Amino acid sequence: MQAVRLRLGPYDDPRPLALLRILLGLITMLNVGTVWPMAELLLADQGLFPRAAACGQMPTQLSLLCHLPEAAVPGFFVAFEVIALAFTLGVATRVSAVLTTVGFAALTLRNPVYLAGDQVFWNFLFLLCLSRCGEAWSVDAWWRARRRPGTRPRRIPAWPRMLMIVQLCVLYGANGWNKLGPGWIQGEALAYMLMNDRWFRVEHWALVSYAEPLLRVATWVVWWFERLFPLVGLAAAVRAVLKVRDATPTTSTSPSSRALRWVLQHPLGVWPWLALTVALHGTLMGLLNLGWFVPASLVAGLCLLPRLPRTSPWPEPVASPASDAVATTGRARLWRGAIVALMIWHALAMVQGSMPAVVQATPAPLARSLQLWRTYTHTQQPWRMFLRGAPRQATYLHAVGLSAEGAPTPIASPLDWHVEPRRPYVGYERRRKVAARILQAPPWQQRYAAWLCRTARDAEGRPFAAVALDEVVQRLPRPRWMAEHGPVDPYERFASERTMHRLAERACPAGSS
């Protein structure tokens, strides 16, 4: 048998990662841009999370915003958007990728209250830093071609893309296998999301009423799509092994081998799963206001592509000299071993941090090491969204200002339940996400009440003597009830069942401003 010679590793078409860089860069800019309107509440020392409380321990101390004066926050946003634009355009891509990742980490570490699936950005920005994503479709590539006419993009090492596939498989697989609640088993999760005005873009009463069986099937499709997605990564690994075997003259052509290759190319092929990814994420983007992580997860699927189709209008990249060089030296073998070790370590860290059963079975010293890796590479993956299904009730935060005589006045605060977003809502809004986090955390309730003391005024412009926060709970009907009774507005039909209870009350210092 002819020995398979050890190489540095496979090389890929650079254009899929270039497209991933461009799209993820644009979405990152939009994501951070939506934080700016709430910057005073989220990032000021007088807001929800003052630096004294937020920056006292690692890894939050690594956030640049913990060391900048408050007056520099607007400049930070401007600088981040400029650097992220440079990354998107491929200007000094290696440097701008690292700076974009560090800037995004600085923002998310400073105050996690508004985060909604932002681990997708953390993870893929970090992995793009390891890749040569600026090799094609970038200002860097244009400049190289201008200096050396006729230069075409070169193929790039594939191992960062392989790490992205591992990341994507853990992202979906852990999310799917951690979902064990009745909302998923009974197929009601998607219908409850469409009824909850925290997430829907328009009122979906007719859709929930007339398409309840279809929504039940769609819920199960989403659930099993996430659970089975790791098979796509396994198929990619098997295809890579078979590609090496195909280089030998003894490659098997037995019926079982042909059957395996058919399964790898069709049911577990890249294009069927990419098409399903586009269909599912596109539907979620159109119907629901879940967060910027949905389009980010969609474009992250580009890492599944080792190359663009041969029919694409862009010229094929050329092989770099290193991609055809046989790695016979000890240094090259050591480099390849380090890459393989990094891939295994990162995959283990992601799995161990995402699956509770694996966390409990991991020896303590190894668990601490894996936790340190996730912390300092900022690749935590705390995905716990909708584990039991979507909530069966809608909850709101209601703020009330109290006069010195105790007379209540509703405060039209940015997070208040009766200040509804415009419908249809085209973008992604964070108010209800922040309000939901405040409802769950008494310390944040007190800080939010203190912020309202400084910023809210009554009809005559006077500060309140005290601020109270109430939780409003609105029951939602079962999807089957909606199907039986037709398209009705559950918020009007069950308004009499709406309840309210006091969460916190805070006296305002005299002359609050």
What's the rounded Cα separation, in Å, for the pair 234 and 340?
Answer: 16
Are the C-beta atoms of residues 399 and 411 closer than 8 Å to each other?
yes
> How would you write 371-404 as a 3-class SS string?
HHHHHHCCCCCCCCCCCCCCCCEEEEEEEEEECC
Single-letter code of the amino acid located at 337: G
- What's the N-to-C CA distance of the chain in angstroms? 82
Question: Three-class SS of residue 11?
Answer: strand
The helix or strand, by DSSP H or E, that contains position 54, with its residue range, turns out to be helix 51-54
Which residues does 207 contact at the CB level (< 8 Å), separation at least 6?
194, 215
What's the rounded Cα separation, in Å, for the pair 263 and 365?
Answer: 40
What's the rounded Cα separation, in Å, for the pair 66 and 106?
Answer: 8
For 409, the token pair is: 């006045």
Residue 325's CB is within 10 A of a number of other CB atoms, namely: 12
Are the C-beta atoms of residues 217 and 225 closer than 8 Å to each other?
no
Radius of gyration of the chain (CA): 26
Single-letter code of the amino acid located at 432: R
User: Starting at the edge strand that comes first in sequence, how are the strands of the sheet with 408-410 ordered?
Assistant: 408-410, 393-402, 466-475, 499-507
Angle (nearest 5°) at CA 281 between 278 and 286: 115
Report the pLDDT value the prediction gives residue 7, as an integer from 0 to 100.
42
Question: Residue holding tokens 């059957």?
Answer: 259
Angle (nearest 5°) at CA 394 between 393 and 395: 115
Count of helix runs (H) and strand runs (E) in the chain: 23, 6
Ramachandran region, residue 462 (left: φ > 0; alpha: ψ -120 to 50; beta: rest):
beta
Ramachandran region, residue 291 (left: φ > 0; alpha: ψ -120 to 50; beta: rest):
left
Are the C-beta atoms of residues 374 and 352 closer than 8 Å to each other?
no
What is the DSSP code (8-state) at residue 416?
B
Report the pLDDT value the prediction gives residue 504, as an integer from 0 to 100.
92
Are the C-beta atoms of residues 512 and 463 closer than 8 Å to each other?
yes
Report the pLDDT value the prediction gives residue 49, as an integer from 0 to 100.
84
Helix spans in 156-211 (H): 159-177, 182-185, 189-195, 205-210
Report the pLDDT value the prediction gives residue 417, as an integer from 0 to 100.
55
Question: Three-class SS of residue 156?
Answer: strand
Q: What's the half-sphere exposure (Cβ side, CA atoms, 13 Å) at 479?
A: 27
Which of 281, 293, 283, 280 lies closest to 204, judged by CA?
A: 283
Are the C-beta atoms of residues 205 and 482 closer than 8 Å to each other?
yes
What's the rounded Cα separation, in Å, for the pair 182 and 329?
Answer: 57
Which of 107, 172, 155 lies closest to 318, judged by CA?
A: 155
What's the rounded Cα separation, in Å, for the pair 441 and 434?
Answer: 11
Which of 72, 91, 73, 116 lies closest to 25, judged by CA?
A: 91
CA distances from 404 to 333, 407, 454, 466 (A): 76, 8, 16, 8
Are the C-beta atoms of residues 411 and 402 closer than 8 Å to each other?
no
For 221, the token pair is: 């499709």
What does each of the 513 residues of the chain score in pLDDT, given as a tens digit? 233 333 445 788 999 999 999 999 999 999 999 899 888 888 888 888 888 888 878 788 888 888 888 889 999 999 999 999 999 999 999 999 999 999 999 998 888 888 878 889 989 999 999 999 999 999 999 999 888 887 778 889 889 999 999 999 988 998 898 888 899 999 999 999 999 888 888 888 899 999 999 999 999 999 999 999 999 989 988 887 776 565 554 455 677 778 888 888 888 888 999 999 999 999 999 999 888 999 999 999 999 998 887 666 666 777 655 544 445 566 777 887 888 888 889 888 888 888 777 777 889 899 899 988 888 887 877 666 787 888 899 888 999 999 888 889 988 776 775 555 556 777 787 888 888 889 988 888 999 999 999 888 888 888 999 999 999 998 899 999 999 988 888 888 888 888 999 999 999 987 555
Give the pairing type, strands 156-157 and 466-475. Answer: unpaired
For 140, the token pair is: 């860097």
For 359, the token pair is: 């966390």
Single-letter code of the amino acid located at 130: L
Q: What's the half-sphere exposure (Cβ side, CA atoms, 13 Å) at 371?
A: 10
